[in-house]
Amino acid sequence: MRPSSLLLSALMLLPATAAAQDLVPLPEQSDIVSWPTRGWTEGETIDIDDIIGADFNTPSDITGQTRGLVVVRGGRIVFERYADGFDADTRHVSWSMAKSVTHALVGRAVELGLIPDIDAPMPGAFSGDDPRGRISWRHWLQMLDGLDYAEIGVEGLDNDVIQMMYGPGRFDVIDFARDEFTAEHTPGTHWNYSTAGYHIISRALQSLIPDICIDASADPRTCRANPRVTSDWLDREFFAPLGLDAVEEYDHAGTLLGGSLIYMSARDFAKFGLLYLRDGVWEGERFLPEGWVDFARSNPEGSDSNLYGAGFWLSPEKPDNPDTLMPPPHDAFHAGGHEGQTIWIVPSRDMVIVRVGLMPNGPESWNGLFAMNQSIASALD
């Protein structure tokens, strides 16, 4: 549900150079290009076959099978290709790209006034006298919650995400998290990749939705949530205004599995990427709070993280060792998911690159996929 643990362990050793750099400005939508709410404008097609390979039906030894690739430049689709059996309407599982969507959902709730302060304790899974109940929205979103949770670097049945999603926690991920994941670090200091954290965020978000409980007399912070009410709210306040045809999954307790399971087409994932490329503005109106996208693409201050902002992966750099420096452009940030799902956002190129497919999860494959995205961006300088 995330990039390779070996690759991430290596990247975490890199210094947080991006935090000291100015962020590349996010480009505005051109007045002569329509917003893609009701459909994409297509631009002049680019030739990138030498980068991606012409045949999507023959899996690559490195990056596996690309099932769909969409490249957006200047708000227009300039490249689109699918493997046999897939097309522009096919929904693909997000895996951990859902975390980026959940970051946007929280931002939308902030913009709507439902969350007045992301530095306030996040409601939901834990009681007020539990130290875990005092962790802020900000620290949950940055994966700086400090819980004793093991996902990266843990193989097989000892992996907490496996136990939570497909083992004893599968019917109620929040109840499982409450029982299993204790406070270990001071919030805000230690980064730890966590699908559990984003499920917990999703449940906290659900508690803000009116009439969310199956039992009307229950506490919205702890009740069994109503998936239909959640789905209607998500569609009304987020998916429909952007023109997204999305499907999300819930556990038996009604918790939105916002850490890993949202389904959209490649074109719709590209719309989502464009929302972030356009600084949270859609159809000329502010949809996410001002500064929300910069929050997503900035290194957290005061932590040991240097490769994750909030809901999105960053492009780490190590200038004193060219072998570990990601090729340019260095301002890219992305949503990433298990088996090679990526939404690559490059402000300096006014570009979004969506790749969906099936890929081995080893570091060689992830490095190859990152290089492909960066090569596409570089080719359109």
Residue 17 pLDDT greater than 90, yes or no? no
Give dist(CA 288, CA 294) in Å, integer. Answer: 11
Residue 16 has pLDDT above 60, yes or no: no
According to the model, what pLDDT value does residue 15 have? 33
pLDDT of residue 316: 61
**CA distance readout (Å), 118 to 189, 221, 284:** 17, 17, 25
5-379 classified as CATH 3.40.710.10: yes
Q: Report pLDDT for 318.
A: 46
Give the three-state DSSP class for 109. Answer: helix
Q: Residue 356's beta-bridge partner residues?
A: 68
Find, among 190, 195, 196, 152, the residue nearest to 6 by Cα.
152
Phi, psi of 274 (to 5 degrees): -65, -35
Report pLDDT for 128.
77
Rounded-to-integer distance, Cα 353 and Cα 169, Å: 34
pLDDT tens for each residue of 157-172: 899 999 999 999 999 9
Report pLDDT digits (tens) over 181-231. Answer: 999 999 999 999 999 999 999 999 999 999 999 999 999 988 999 999 999
Whether 235 shows a pLDDT value over 50: the answer reads yes
CA nearest to 43, candidates 52, 51, 33: 33
pLDDT of residue 324: 53
Q: For 58-76, what is the mean pLDDT?
A: 96
Q: Give the percent of the chain with pLDDT over 70.
A: 92
Confidence of residue 293 (pLDDT cuts 50, 70, 90): very high
Given a cut of 50, is residue 12 above it in pLDDT? no
Does 155 score more than 80 pLDDT? yes
pLDDT tops 70 at residue 1: no
Of 81-85, 239-243, 325-329, 337-341, least confident by mean pLDDT is: 325-329
For range 359-372, the mean pLDDT: 93
Q: How does pLDDT run across 48-57, given as a tens digit for each residue?
A: 999 999 899 9
Indicate the pLDDT class of residue 317, thresholds 50, 70 and 90.
low
Q: Count CB-CB contacts under 10 A for residue 170.
A: 14
Beta bridge mates, 264? 92
Q: What is the pLDDT of residue 19?
A: 39
pLDDT reported for residue 10 = 36
Mean pLDDT is lowest, of 35-39, 272-276, 358-362, for 358-362
CB contact at 8 A, 334 and 309: no
Q: How far is CA 36 from CA 58, 72, 145, in A?
A: 31, 11, 36
Q: Which residues contact 248 (CB under 8 A, 6 or more apart)?
A: 98, 230, 231, 234, 256, 257, 258, 261, 262, 263
Count of beta carbons in the 10 Å neighbourhood of residue 166: 11
Q: What is the pLDDT of residue 323?
A: 53
| Segment holding 179, helix H or strand E | helix 173-180
Strand pairing category for 262-265 and 285-286: unpaired
- CA atoms of 212 and 229, how far apart (whole Å): 6
Q: Which residue has the higher pLDDT, 376 or 156?
A: 376
Residue 119 CB coordination number (10 Å): 8
**pTM surpassing 0.75?**
yes
pLDDT band (50, 70, 90) for residue 14: very low
Spatial neighbors of 98 by CB under 8 A, at least 6 apart, are 198, 248, 257, 258, 259, 260, 261, 262, 337
